[in-house]
Chains A and B, each alone.
Chain A
């Protein structure tokens, strides 16, 4: 129980859809979602595969708590080899799509090969078929969802799709479901585009009754929901301000990377944070934020639903963008704003809408724009080359870049490759603020030392969701640690990374971890799933998943040189704020981290480590 026990295997080359039983032995060792799909993926796919070739596979997967009343139990993940990084990619999304997959009776969908022409997968419970997507190709994610619902005459279908960014294989294209939820990072949308797969449309009316002990499950999930409701972050901060609650907090502690990490504080941070989204605009007397919203089964409801100022220059002649839609989260507001020095909240919302509409990761997009602006300021990119003036803080350039990047026009084609390739092309590879080719998110690795190590060692490239030590170093969850010191951070990062593997494999949202520890997740899994789900087993499983991902990366050709930070973070100290004078102490932390992980000094798992983990 906990699983539907069914996997749908879709061969896009031959056009076949075949049901097969879920490997229940693997389910016991890897649970679901991230862990289970990565086990399938790494077993079936050559690590050296070209991510955008037909030989790469793409797995969409739910967890045992997906489609249940466990709070936030609606997540699905997309696992593949990422074109941005050349590493394992696993992007997690909320919304309603994941639960619908479960309700149709599927734990996982495996996509293989490449369709000779654009298609979309339509699933109605047990029935699955590939349908012609000629009429959808060229459409945005928003129009694709609307068109599919209309053509099937079923408004209750749930859809995930790629927009123009995925079709054009923008290396940071994402997969958008339910209009504004995203499997966002590492370019999973480009992989989908490379397979000529435009969308997956699912209608599930079977529901999910596979809970091992329903009364126990309802009792424990109710208890755990209460913990979320009573917690200051998940019960108050996130519902009111969303993740944007962090903008001013992180800025004040001097950890808000600004202008391509030249600075760590942004003088306009208060104009682009969660509080600003509540403020009434002088133009129309309305706040940008309309309401908060939840993903499936989520009792936190951190999602933002916003409306743009209709008089803003980006949309004055474009009513299409005037309606309510997914609003700015912290990462997007930071990447589109502080990372470029842009402090115009309406412009950030506009660019964020384009990212949702056409399926682009706003983190990598925004930070790539930041890198381009630095190249421009250094004279390495000129107005003639990129079509306009683009110094830091140029709102017009940022908004314009969002338009041309998704469409693959002009300079947008260069931005579409991410900052690593852009900076290398113009002779300054050091200016790409990335690890393994994936750009940093919104926390400075100098001012929050643990995050520096978490970025350097993240298996999918720089990421805040693989080991969110911000919880401890900033918010004091579960215990407060000093963000400025390196001592103890190797252990802290490992603990967060391993625990996150369990959260991500259960089918719940990592934001629950502001209030829940592993001990809160464990009884929910145990009530849902057959088998032994002790704390010890889960902790070991988290570590197993991390090592499995690491092994794939090593076999793909990544190594110690890729567990590194850009020179800026190691040599240019924070100029202002409480962390003034600090650089990242990665060189101190990394050897300790390898040792604690049971890896050799080159970052390769030792034989005894692999044996202990059953790998």
Chain B
């Protein structure tokens, strides 16, 4: 089964445990500045929203890369950056409509979510279940169930 990250802003408290887990997995340090998942705090609305790569099926970052440094992990569907090949041209950061591929000056490479090889650390670190890893074909299942539960016997 192909799985996908599922982000629920209503459950996010803004603790940034996910950012630290992501950075530790990829850099070996607790460092939100190097996280591939980001929490955005819309202060005046009281909303905290996790955001990261959605692993597009037709991935513009992958298509844009002139040196084929971004490939698809067949097992997870993740579009993965290969540091050894990446030349830091940043074209992928322009191609991505969502801004989820970013350049890292320190390494001279780009970085993005790689789903941690199929076991995302952000999911395990999230204390409220705001980030889950679910069946990619049924990301709406829980919401369908919730609405189904509200339906009465006569009419939907």
A207 engages B48 (CB within 8 Å): no
Binds B, one of A109-117, A169-177, A289-297, A439-447: A289-297
Bitwise interface map of B from 46 to 61 toward A, beta carbon under 8 Å scored 1, else 0 = 1110000000000000
User: What CA separation (Å) do A67 and B16 show in the bound complex?
Assistant: 10
Q: A207-B31, A296-B15, A301-B128 are in contact. Are A69 and B46 (CB under 8 A)?
A: no
B31 engages A208 (CB within 8 Å): yes
B92 interface hit (Cβ, 8 Å): no
A207 engages B45 (CB within 8 Å): no
Q: A205-B31, A209-B30 are in contact. Are A69 and B125 (CB under 8 A)?
A: yes
Q: With a CB–CB cut-off of 8 A, which chain A residues contact B46?
A: 290-291, 293, 305-307, 324
A296 engages B31 (CB within 8 Å): no
B149 interface hit (Cβ, 8 Å): no
B15 engages A297 (CB within 8 Å): yes
Selected from B28, B30, B43, the residue in CB contact (under 8 A) with A68 is B30
B21 interface hit (Cβ, 8 Å): yes
User: What CA separation (Å) do A299 and B13 show in the bound complex?
Assistant: 9
B127 engages A229 (CB within 8 Å): yes
Bitwise interface map of A from 83 to 127 toward B, beta carbon under 8 Å scored 1, else 0 = 000000000000010010001000000000000000000000000
A197 interface hit (Cβ, 8 Å): no
Q: With a CB–CB cut-off of 8 A, which chain A residues contact B23?
A: 207
Q: With a CB–CB cut-off of 8 A, which chain A residues contact B16?
A: 96, 99, 296-297
Smallest Cβ-Cβ distance to A292: which chain B residue:
B13
Give the distance to chain A from B37, nearest Cβ to Cβ, in Å.
14
A436 interface hit (Cβ, 8 Å): no
Bitwise interface map of B from 5 to 25 toward A, beta carbon under 8 Å scored 1, else 0 = 000000001111100110110
Smallest Cβ-Cβ distance to A229: which chain B residue:
B127
Q: With a CB–CB cut-off of 8 A, which chain A residues contact B20?
A: 68-69, 297
Bitwise interface map of B from 100 to 140 toward A, beta carbon under 8 Å scored 1, else 0 = 00000010000000000000000001011000000000000
Give the distance to chain B from A612, nearest Cβ to Cβ, in Å.
37
User: What CA separation (Å) do A299 and B128 show in the bound complex?
Assistant: 8
A366 interface hit (Cβ, 8 Å): no
Q: With a CB–CB cut-off of 8 A, which chain A residues contact B27?
A: 207, 209
Give the distance to chain B from A529, nearest Cβ to Cβ, in Å.
15
Tally A residues with Cβ within 8 Å of B. 38
B30 engages A208 (CB within 8 Å): yes
User: What CA separation (Å) do A215 and B69 show in the bound complex?
Assistant: 31
B33 engages A179 (CB within 8 Å): no
Interface of A, secondary structure class, is loop
A323 interface hit (Cβ, 8 Å): yes
Q: A307-B46, A323-B45 are in contact. Are A294 and B15 (CB under 8 A)?
A: yes
Give the distance to chain B from A298, nearest Cβ to Cβ, in Å.
5
A281 interface hit (Cβ, 8 Å): no
For the A-B complex, the count of residue pairs with Cβ-Cβ distances under 8 Å equals: 92
User: What CA separation (Å) do A103 and B19 show in the bound complex?
Assistant: 13
Q: With a CB–CB cut-off of 8 A, which chain B residues contact A208?
A: 29-31
A242 interface hit (Cβ, 8 Å): no
Q: A69-B24, A206-B31, A323-B45 are in contact. Are A293 and B125 (CB under 8 A)?
A: no
Within 8 A of B (CB), among A59-84: 67-69, 71
Q: A205-B31, A208-B29, A209-B28 are in contact. Are A299 and B15 (CB under 8 A)?
A: yes
A13 interface hit (Cβ, 8 Å): no
User: What CA separation (Å) do A290 and B27 show in the bound complex?
Assistant: 36
User: What CA separation (Å) do A520 and B14 show in the bound complex?
Assistant: 24
User: What CA separation (Å) do A156 and B48 show in the bound complex?
Assistant: 15
**Residue of B34, B125, B127 with most chain A CB atoms under a 10 A cut-off:** B127
B15 engages A325 (CB within 8 Å): no
Give the distance to chain A from B34, nearest Cβ to Cβ, in Å.
6
Q: With a CB–CB cut-off of 8 A, which chain A residues contact B145?
A: none
Smallest Cβ-Cβ distance to A327: which chain B residue:
B46
Q: With a CB–CB cut-off of 8 A, which chain B residues contact A292?
A: 13
B44 interface hit (Cβ, 8 Å): yes
User: What CA separation (Å) do A96 and B21 show in the bound complex?
Assistant: 16
A204 interface hit (Cβ, 8 Å): yes
Q: With a CB–CB cut-off of 8 A, which chain A residues contact B13?
A: 292-294, 298, 301, 303
**Residue of A96, A207, A208 with most chain B CB atoms under a 10 A cut-off:** A207
User: What CA separation (Å) do A300 and B79 show in the bound complex?
Assistant: 34
A324 engages B31 (CB within 8 Å): no
A494 interface hit (Cβ, 8 Å): no
Give the distance to chain A from B100, nearest Cβ to Cβ, in Å.
16
User: What CA separation (Å) do A128 and B149 show in the bound complex?
Assistant: 57
Q: A69-B17, A294-B14 are in contact. Are A103 and B127 (CB under 8 A)?
A: no
Q: With a CB–CB cut-off of 8 A, which chain B residues contact A71?
A: 127
Smallest Cβ-Cβ distance to B38: which chain A residue:
A156
B33 engages A103 (CB within 8 Å): yes
Q: With a CB–CB cut-off of 8 A, which chain B residues contact A179?
A: 43
Q: With a CB–CB cut-off of 8 A, which chain B residues contact A103?
A: 30-33
Cross-chain pairs A/B with CB under 8 angstroms, 6 sampled: A205-B31, A207-B33, A209-B27, A299-B15, A306-B46, A324-B44
Additional 12 contacts, C-beta under 8 A, given A69-B20, A207-B32, A307-B46 = A67-B30, A71-B127, A179-B43, A205-B33, A207-B33, A218-B24, A291-B46, A291-B47, A299-B127, A301-B127, A323-B44, A324-B44
Q: Which 7 pairs of residues, A with B, have the shortest CB-CB distance?
A: A207-B31, A324-B46, A209-B29, A323-B44, A290-B46, A294-B15, A205-B33
